[in-house]
C-alpha cells in the first residue's frame, strides 16, 4: 500500500536524495578521474538548476514565437549568445584559456547538418524538449520525458550504424569565423546577426500584439527566489553562458549533450550482445575510447548526470517534484517519435541545440548558424504536427517551459 505524503514532505525527501546524489557524484568523479571531472559534474548540477529555475526551454521559446509571435524567449537566447561569443572568441582566437589549450565545436557545413537539424527541429516539438530540455525535465520529474530520453538514445544509436553515408553527402570543410575573419570582425558580424534576429522578433510581436510581453512578476525575492525560482529568462541565459565558459576552461571544449546519449545506447546494446564496436563510428579513436571506458571518464555523460540531478534538486526546492505516470497515448507516441527524431537528427547535424547551436555559434562555427536556420524550419513543421498528438493544447505564451 502506497502512502501519499504531503507535498512538502515529498519535496523534503527528494531534496535529500538530490543532495546525496550530488555529493556522491562529486566524490566519485574526483576518486575515479580527478578534480576537473568532479568540478564538471558540479557544473552539470548548476546547469540543471539553472535550466529548471529559469524554465530555459529552447523548444517552447521557438514554439511560442512560431504560434503566438511572442519573442521574449528568443531575445533571451540572443543575449545569451552575445555574451557567449564575447567570452569565447578571444579565448578561441588565442587557443588557450587560463594557460590551458582550448578548441571550439567547429564542424563541417554540410547537407547532413541541414537535414539533421531539420529532423531535430521536428523532434523538438513532438518530443516536447530539446537535448538540454529533455535532461532537465526528466530530472524535474516528468515521466513522459523519460520515454523521450530513452528513444533519444535509441535514435542516436541507429544513426551511428550508417553515419558515414550522411557525412559523405556534399559538404564544405569546417569554417571558423574566428579563424577566417579574426576575433573582432567575427564579434561584430555575430552581434549584428543577434541584433537583427532580436529586431525581427520585436517587429513581429508588436505587429501581432501591439506591445512586448513583460517578464512575469514574482512575489518571492532574494535568496528564497534564488533557491526556489522562478528566475528571469535573461538571468538563465547569462548563467548558462558563464557555466559553458567554465566548461570550456575545464574540459578544453564547450558544453555538449548528445554524444553521451549515443554512448549510453551503444553500451546498452553491447551489453545485450549487439556488436556495436564493429561499426565504423565506434572504431573512431574518441568514440571507441568512450565505448570501452567507464562512464566516469566521459565528460559529457558526467555533466548530463549532473544536469538531471541538479534539476531534481531545483524541482524539489520549488516543491514541484511530483512525477505523474498518467500519460495520454497520443502524447506517449509523440514522445517516442520525437525522441527518435531528436537522437537521429543530432548525430547527423554534429550536435543539438547545445553542442551545435549554443556552443557551435559560441565557437564561431558557421555550421551553428546553418543548424539554427534548418532547426527553426523543422520546428515550424513540428508545431503544425503537434495538434495530431496534443489535440487539447492551449496556447500559453506567457509561460515558457522546457516542454
pLDDT in tens, 261-316: 999 999 999 999 999 999 999 999 999 999 999 999 999 999 999 999 999 999 88
Least reliable range by pLDDT among 126-130, 278-282, 321-325, 371-375: 321-325
Segment 113-118 mean pLDDT: 98
CA distances from 116 to 109, 112, 153 (A): 12, 6, 15
Would you say 330 and 389 are in contact if contact means Cβ atoms under 8 Å apart? yes
Comparing C-alpha atoms, which of 254, 268, 251, 276 is closest to residue 352? 254
C-alpha span between 110 and 335 (Å, rounded) = 28
Given the C-alpha cell 551553428, which residue does it identify?
A: 368
Q: For position 403, what pLDDT does the model report?
A: 42
Render pLDDT for 139-189 as a digit per residue (tens, 0 to 9): 888 899 999 999 999 999 999 999 999 999 999 999 999 999 999 999 999
Amino acid at each position: 500500500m502506497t502512502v501519499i505524503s504531503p507535498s512538502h514532505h515529498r519535496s523534503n525527501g527528494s531534496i535529500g536524495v538530490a543532495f546525496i546524489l550530488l555529493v556522491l557524484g562529486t566524490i566519485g568523479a574526483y576518486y575515479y578521474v580527478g578534480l576537473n571531472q568532479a568540478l564538471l559534474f558540479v557544473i552539470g548540477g548548476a546547469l540543471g538548476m539553472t535550466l529548471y529555475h529559469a524554465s530555459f526551454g529552447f523548444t517552447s521559446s521557438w514554439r511560442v514565437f512560431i504560434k503566438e509571435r511572442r519573442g521574449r524567449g528568443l531575445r533571451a537566447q540572443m543575449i545569451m549568445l552575445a555574451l557567449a561569443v564575447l567570452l569565447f572568441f578571444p579565448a578561441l582566437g588565442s587557443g588557450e584559456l587560463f594557460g590551458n589549450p582550448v578548441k571550439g565545436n567547429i564542424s563541417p557545413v554540410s547537407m547532413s547538418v541541414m537535414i539533421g537539424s531539420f529532423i531535430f527541429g521536428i523532434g523538438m516539438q513532438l518530443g516536447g524538449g530539446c537535448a538540454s530540455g529533455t535532461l532537465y525535465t526528466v530530472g524535474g520529474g516528468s515521466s513522459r520525458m523519460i520515454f523521450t530520453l530513452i528513444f533519444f538514445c535509441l535514435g542516436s544509436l541507429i544513426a551511428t550504424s550508417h553515419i558515414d553515408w550522411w557525412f559523405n553527402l556534399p559538404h564544405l570543410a569546417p569554417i571558423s569565423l574566428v579563424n577566417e575573419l579574426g576575433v573582432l570582425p567575427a564579434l561584430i558580424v555575430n552581434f549584428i546577426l543577434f541584433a537583427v534576429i532580436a529586431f525581427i522578433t520585436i517587429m513581429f510581436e508588436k505587429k501581432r500584439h501591439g506591445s512586448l510581453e513583460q517578464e512575469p512578476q514574482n512575489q518571492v525575492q532574494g535568496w528564497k527566489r534564488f533557491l526556489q525560482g522562478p528566475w528571469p529568462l535573461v538571468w538563465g541565459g547569462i548563467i548558462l553562458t558563464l557555466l559553458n565558459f567554465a566548461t570550456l576552461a575545464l574540459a578544453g571544449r564547450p558544453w555538449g549533450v548528445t554524444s553521451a546519449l549515443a554512448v549510453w545506447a551503444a553500451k546498452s546494446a553491447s551489453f545485450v550482445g549487439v556488436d556495436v564496436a564493429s561499426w565504423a563510428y565506434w572504431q573512431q579513436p574518441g568514440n571507441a575510447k568512450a565505448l570501452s571506458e567507464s562512464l566516469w571518464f566521459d565528460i559529457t555523460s558526467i555533466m548530463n548526470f549532473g544536469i538531471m540531478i541538479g534539476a531534481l534538486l531545483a524541482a524539489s526546492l520549488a516543491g514541484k517534484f511530483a512525477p505523474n505516470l498518467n500519460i495520454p497515448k497520443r502524447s506517449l507516441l509523440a514522445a517516442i517519435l520525437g525522441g527518435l527524431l531528436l537522437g537521429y537528427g543530432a548525430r547527423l547535424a554534429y550536435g543539438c541545440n547545445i553542442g551545435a547551436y549554443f556552443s557551435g555559434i559560441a565557437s564561431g562555427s558557421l555550421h551553428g548558424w546553418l543548424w539554427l536556420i534548418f532547426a527553426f524550419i523543422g520546428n515550424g513543421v513540428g508545431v503544425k504536427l503537434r495538434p495530431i498528438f496534443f489535440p487539447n493544447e492551449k496556447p500559453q505564451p506567457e509561460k515558457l517551459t522546457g516542454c
